[in-house]
Amino acid sequence: MIGCGAEMGELRRIKSDFITEDSCVTLHDLKDAFYNFRTSDDDSVIRKVVKPLELLLVGSP
């Protein structure tokens, strides 16, 4: 070690390939969308939160 102290207050990943922080949702948003889907059978809210798995493969060879 170099003998000086250090402290990290926060570590955030703001982008991973084409997925940005702005396109992410919180677990609370996901829970609310799922609850709304289960209680009303309206899938419009959960479709805004849960994206198709194929989006992860965009740009893959």
Q: What is the mean pLDDT of the chain?
A: 85
Q: How far apart are CA 47 and CA 50, in angstroms?
A: 5
DSSP code for 15: E
Confidence (pTM) = 0.62
Is the pLDDT at 1 greater than 70, yes or no?
no
Rounded to an integer, the average pLDDT of 13-35 is 87
pLDDT at res. 27: 94
pLDDT at res. 41: 82
pLDDT at res. 34: 93
Rounded to an integer, the average pLDDT of 35-57 is 89
Q: How far apart are CA 25 and CA 32, in angstroms?
A: 11
